[in-house]
Structure 1
Amino acid sequence: MGGKFKKTISLLDLTLIGLGAIFGSAWLFAVSNVASQAGPAGSFSWIIGGVIILLIGLVYAELGAALPRTGGIIRYPVYSHGPLVGYMISFITIVAYTSLISIEVTAVRQYVDYWAGGVLTKANSDSPTILGWLLQFVLLVAFFLLNYWSVKAFAKSNIIISIFKYVVPVTIIVVLAFHFKSGNFTVEGFAPFGFDGIQGAISTGGVMFAYLGLHPIVSVASEVKNPQRNIPIALVLCIILAAVIYTALQILFIGAIPTDMISSGGWTAIQDKFSLPFKDIAVVLGLGWVASLVVFDAILSPGGNGNIFMNTTARLVYAWSRNGTLFKTFSKVDKATGIPRSSLWLSLGLSIFWTLPFPSWNALVNVCSVALILSYAIAPVSAATFSVNAKGLEKPFKLKGMNIIAPISFIFASFIVYWSGWKTISWLLGSQLIMFVVYLIFAKYVPTDKVKLPQQLKSSWWLVAYYIVMLIISYIGSFGGGKGLIDTPVDLIIIAIVSLAIFFWAKYSGLPKAMIDNDDESPEEHAEHEKAEENPAH
């Protein structure tokens, strides 16, 4: 029996939830990355990224209101295309969220090193020393324990942190405005790396990563007052406000750099000169108090987000297990606290793992961004498929123009994957194809009671084809180690055509009837129901 959700969340509450999730570590690092990759034209990267994530977010708004589920991001593909597609999307989603936790603790370590005197980060590198890695490990364990003992401890730990998330970026905008030099936008050319630089910055510069905190708005969709009105307004408000703040931070950072520092090494050198951009620019300008404020916020904000996403990831692992394609032990919930503790253990282990091969924020952000967008990109496909195999699905919020928005958002998601480059795509999509083969090898253990394996395969070939095609285009493309056999705009035209074809293939190859269950329990509700079954009233 599913739990009932109370509609208590207002428009203001929902907007603050979204903004709170957005402002983590991204704004603390991305501006120097974007400047190095695109120059002053990188400001447009933030605007383009905002438009793309808005389209995907609107699709999630409809799904979240219609099917409020714990871990819905990995349950929707199961409903529309069956366990095999759900299994593959679950894997890439867990990769995304566990690496996201690692990103946040890495950000904390890199900024704490400002006060630690360089003992946490190796000289001339962003990689941690042994002491620095131990700090990251301790932070991850702390997040784990906060979530392990109670939901209340998790919630209380985020109240103070949220205040700084809004105050500090606005303070920096005001202060840097007094040091603005318009000549910086033309000293080395406005777009020194052309449109390729703008594209690359969206995926690998941290732009898309900065926007990928909107999932919490969708996850509470069933608890929102007047969802038809408030969900789309909150999504639009969050993205517009974030885009305005991010773009302003980018413009003012570029304008505040001493002009001779741009002339001496060009835009490419900015990332090295300002590896901790707002702290470094404050020091250069002699604003010690701003540098201290930034470092303090850089410890609190990413730390708060790491704590939030440790909680979220455990719920996603729980949902994957409830899908039937992950070991059942991960769907066990502690009856006293209502927390999926075994899922938390897995989340902790994976988040520790990601700090080993990817030691810095810059190294991790590309992996996380692509994994997240691959996970998010399934939403338009599932939404379109439900119009075929779940025509009677009740939708508290119905997105006008879904027939246009869904395929366009899928195409844009494909662009972001491509812009991340061959070096990232090759192993990330390659691992997805390996997971597909593993599923077939262990076919006798996979869930086939509701959907037989032949139907699961029929409903998943489009995803396999999509991964293979994206690998081929990336290999011959010009981003991140590609062979450079095709350039913009030819590459984007090919991706758009192929993505559109695969989108409609996916739309009409879903399950004959959507496999939607009525289980909208959270782990806490699941634990309560298990308690009730073991201790019935007499």
Structure 2
Amino acid sequence: MPASGEREAEGELDRTIGLVGAVTIGTGTMIGAGIFVFPGLAAGQAGPAAAVSFAIGAVIALLVALPTSELATAMPQSGGGYYFTSRGLGTLSGAIVGIGLTFGLMFASAFYLVGLGEYAAAILVEAGVIPTTETPLGPLNIVLLFAATAGILLTVLSVFGTENTESLQNAVVGFLLAILTVFLTVSGLDVLGVRGASRVPTEFAPEGFGPILTTAALVFTSYLGFAQIATVAEDVVDPDRNLPLSMLGSILLVGVLYIITMLIAGSTFEPSVIGPMGETAIVEIAREYLGFPGVVVILVAGLLATISSANASILSASRALYGLSSDALVPAKAAEVNREYGTPHFALSFVGGVTVVLVATGRTEVLAEVASFLHLVMYGLTCVALIVIRRRDPDWYDPAFETLGYPAVPIIGGGASFALILFMQPLSRALGVILTFAAVAWYLLYAREIELKDKLP
């Protein structure tokens, strides 16, 4: 068993991700879930008031992003929240966050891939390739087959170089933003009655205000993208400038898009109608306002968006595992860097393999909430870590960005992160608790003797 956290990694990661690339990692991840997967699930629970659920998520994300930005500029290392908490709160907290973050990103990746499978199957249905109600393999098997295949291909792509991931993200996100601008403008004008009869609902919260917080807990997965930027901090060029700008900017951009999308979704269909539409409800909204051409465009956009989300999540999960291995909290193999491509190939292979296994469950909401649970634990502890590090004031701590509203912002952000967990469904909370205890058990059995130094290597 290793006795020190100062293991020398097999290689160093190349800094190849610029500001645009960092923003697209965050934005691309968040657009995939928030706009193309959640409208039916969220509006089915809360109606138009689901827009408030997304607004709550954005506020919590911003409250956490500010402390995360400060810590990231002081410690621009792979691992993100793991690195911050391990230096601020010690090895046990670091193990809980690092292992939780790795698995949280794998659950998120599986969630995005299932959404990808839904869109791929919907394209085949619209093209008349498979029947609407039944297929030779069964509709769920078709979805999972697409999802698992995509997971394998994205993992292989990431192994061959981070610049491949960045190029894919830049192209996909630019295309998505163009499509969404047109779609939301046309459908928004229709809802307001500019192009016909107004569709503004008489009841903003037809299901009452109770579901708003439970829906916020469900859809918080939509805001995980900003933390993924911190996770790949060691790949980011000029981190002092680009990390804060990309994290805060991506939250604000997608938050506005989410709120507009949910107002349109909730105004178009009643909760009892849009809920059963599931992960591809946005396709039916496009059909309502833009006809079949709109359906085709949104189907393609949804496919690309879920690819983008899964792509960024797989990359970030591998970097979280790489950070754990660099500190000797997991076996050294995970820190091996491919000398030709400059990527942690073993970490990527492990992440891709586990993600494909999780895809097989097909439980969209559970995958999303467990991912949120594990990230919310990390967010809460990250806010605590900032307060502890500020009070200790070590010599090496010199952030280029300081949290606005300190200490109120990290206190409120951390408290809100932990509180949101209480509104998740029992199964998701149970799985999150089990994985957290598993991280503690791993620490006690494998990493208890490891001592980390505050001073960065």
* TM-score between both structures, scaled by the size of structure 1: 0.74
Does 2:351 align with 1:347?
Answer: yes
The alpha carbon displacement at 1:121 in A equals: 9.1
Q: Is the 8 A contact 1:64 1:221 kept in 2?
A: no
- CA offsets, 1:306-352, max 9 Å, x none? 22222221111111112222122212222222221111121011101
Residue of structure 2 equivalent to 1:518? 456
Q: Is the 8 A contact 1:64 1:222 kept in 2?
A: no
Structure 2 SS opposite 1:24: helix
1:28 to 25, 36, 44: 36
Residue of structure 1 equivalent to 2:371? 368
Q: Is the 8 A contact 1:119 1:131 kept in 2?
A: no
Shift in alpha-carbon separation, 1:435–1:308, aligned structure 2, 3 A: closer
Shift in alpha-carbon separation, 1:287–1:332, aligned structure 2, 3 A: same
Give the Cα–Cα distance (whole angstroms) in 1 for the partners of residues 121 and 13 of structure 2.
47
Give the Cα–Cα distance (whole angstroms) in 2 for the partners of residues 346 and 98 of structure 1.
10
Give the Cα–Cα distance (whole angstroms) in 1 for the partners of residues 78 and 339 of structure 2.
17
Give the Cα–Cα distance (whole angstroms) in 1 for the partners of residues 15 and 161 of structure 2.
21
The alpha carbon displacement at 1:253 in A equals: 2.2
Structure 2 SS opposite 1:110: helix
Equivalent AA in structure 1 for residue 265 of structure 2: F
Shift in alpha-carbon separation, 1:98–1:225, aligned structure 2, 3 A: closer
2:214 to 200, 214, 218: 200
Identity of aligned residues (%): 17
Residue of structure 1 equivalent to 2:412? 408
Shift in alpha-carbon separation, 1:177–1:369, aligned structure 2, 3 A: same
Equivalent AA in structure 2 for residue 446 of structure 1: A
Alignment of 1:38-117 (within 5 A): 38-117=46-125
Higher normalized contact order (CA 8 Å, seq sep 6+, divided by chain length): 2
Give the Cα–Cα distance (whole angstroms) in 2 for the partners of residues 286 and 147 of structure 1.
36
Give the Cα–Cα distance (whole angstroms) in 1 for the partners of residues 47 and 289 of structure 2.
20
Q: CA RMSD in A?
A: 3.0
Shift in alpha-carbon separation, 1:235–1:151, aligned structure 2, 3 A: closer
The alpha carbon displacement at 1:386 in A equals: 0.5
Q: For structure 1, which segment, 190-199 or 242-251, has the greater mean C-alpha deviation from structure 2 after superposition?
A: 190-199
Residue of structure 2 equivalent to 1:212? 224
- CA offsets, 1:371-420, max 9 Å, x none? 22222222101111102333432121122332111111111101211111
Equivalent AA in structure 2 for residue 323 of structure 1: D
Alignment of 1:377-388 (within 5 A): 377-388=380-391
The alpha carbon displacement at 1:249 in A equals: 1.1
The alpha carbon displacement at 1:96 in A equals: 0.9
Give the Cα–Cα distance (whole angstroms) in 1 for the partners of residues 30 and 234 of structure 2.
17
Shift in alpha-carbon separation, 1:432–1:360, aligned structure 2, 3 A: closer
Residue of structure 1 equivalent to 2:5? none
Structure 1 SS opposite 2:305: helix
Unaligned ranges ≥5, structure 2: 1-7
Give the Cα–Cα distance (whole angstroms) in 2 for the partners of residues 281 and 37 of structure 1.
17
Shift in alpha-carbon separation, 1:164–1:120, aligned structure 2, 3 A: farther
Give the Cα–Cα distance (whole angstroms) in 1 for the partners of residues 131 and 331 of structure 2.
37
2:154 to 143, 154, 158: 143
Does 2:409 align with 1:398?
Answer: no
Give the Cα–Cα distance (whole angstroms) in 1 for the partners of residues 94 and 279 of structure 2.
38
Shift in alpha-carbon separation, 1:331–1:296, aligned structure 2, 3 A: same
Give the Cα–Cα distance (whole angstroms) in 1 for the partners of residues 86 and 25 of structure 2.
27
2:252 to 227, 237, 240: 240
Residue of structure 2 equivalent to 1:176? 187
The alpha carbon displacement at 1:285 in A equals: 4.5
Q: Is the 8 A contact 1:209 1:365 kept in 2?
A: yes
Q: Is the 8 A contact 1:15 1:234 kept in 2?
A: yes
Equivalent AA in structure 2 for residue 299 of structure 1: L
Equivalent AA in structure 2 for residue 169 of structure 1: L
Give the Cα–Cα distance (whole angstroms) in 2 for the partners of residues 382 and 58 of structure 1.
13
Residue of structure 2 equivalent to 1:249? 261
Shift in alpha-carbon separation, 1:390–1:237, aligned structure 2, 3 A: same
Unaligned ranges ≥5, structure 1: 452-514, 520-538
The alpha carbon displacement at 1:181 in A equals: 5.8
Does 2:422 align with 1:421?
Answer: no
1:293 to 293, 297, 310: 297
Shift in alpha-carbon separation, 1:309–1:80, aligned structure 2, 3 A: same
Q: For structure 1, which segment, 281-290 or 97-106, has the greater mean C-alpha deviation from structure 2 after superposition?
A: 281-290
Residue of structure 2 equivalent to 1:497? none
Residue of structure 2 equivalent to 1:153? 164
Does 2:284 align with 1:280?
Answer: yes
Q: For structure 1, which segment, 107-116 or 146-155, has the greater mean C-alpha deviation from structure 2 after superposition?
A: 146-155
Shift in alpha-carbon separation, 1:289–1:282, aligned structure 2, 3 A: same
Give the Cα–Cα distance (whole angstroms) in 1 for the partners of residues 69 and 216 of structure 2.
23
Structure 1 SS opposite 2:35: helix
Alignment of 1:262-341 (within 5 A): 262=270, 267-273=271-277, 275-285=279-289, 287-341=291-345
Shift in alpha-carbon separation, 1:32–1:339, aligned structure 2, 3 A: same
The alpha carbon displacement at 1:27 in A equals: 0.8
Structure 2 SS opposite 1:180: helix
Residue of structure 2 equivalent to 1:129? 140
Shift in alpha-carbon separation, 1:15–1:336, aligned structure 2, 3 A: closer
Residue of structure 1 equivalent to 2:4? none
- CA offsets, 1:63-98, max 9 Å, x none? 000111011221222112222221121221111111
Shift in alpha-carbon separation, 1:59–1:123, aligned structure 2, 3 A: farther
Give the Cα–Cα distance (whole angstroms) in 1 for the partners of residues 78 and 21 of structure 2.
19
Does 2:22 align with 1:19?
Answer: no
Structure 2 SS opposite 1:133: helix
Shift in alpha-carbon separation, 1:5–1:274, aligned structure 2, 3 A: closer
Q: Is the 8 A contact 1:75 1:323 kept in 2?
A: no
Structure 2 SS opposite 1:276: helix
Give the Cα–Cα distance (whole angstroms) in 2 for the partners of residues 56 and 151 of structure 1.
26
Equivalent AA in structure 1 for residue 419 of structure 2: F
Give the Cα–Cα distance (whole angstroms) in 2 for the partners of residues 323 and 167 of structure 1.
42
Equivalent AA in structure 2 for residue 154 of structure 1: T
Q: Number of paired residues?
A: 437
The alpha carbon displacement at 1:224 in A equals: 6.3
Q: Is the 8 A contact 1:8 1:225 kept in 2?
A: no
1:432 to 425, 429, 436: 436
Structure 1 SS opposite 2:300: helix
Structure 1 SS opposite 2:77: coil
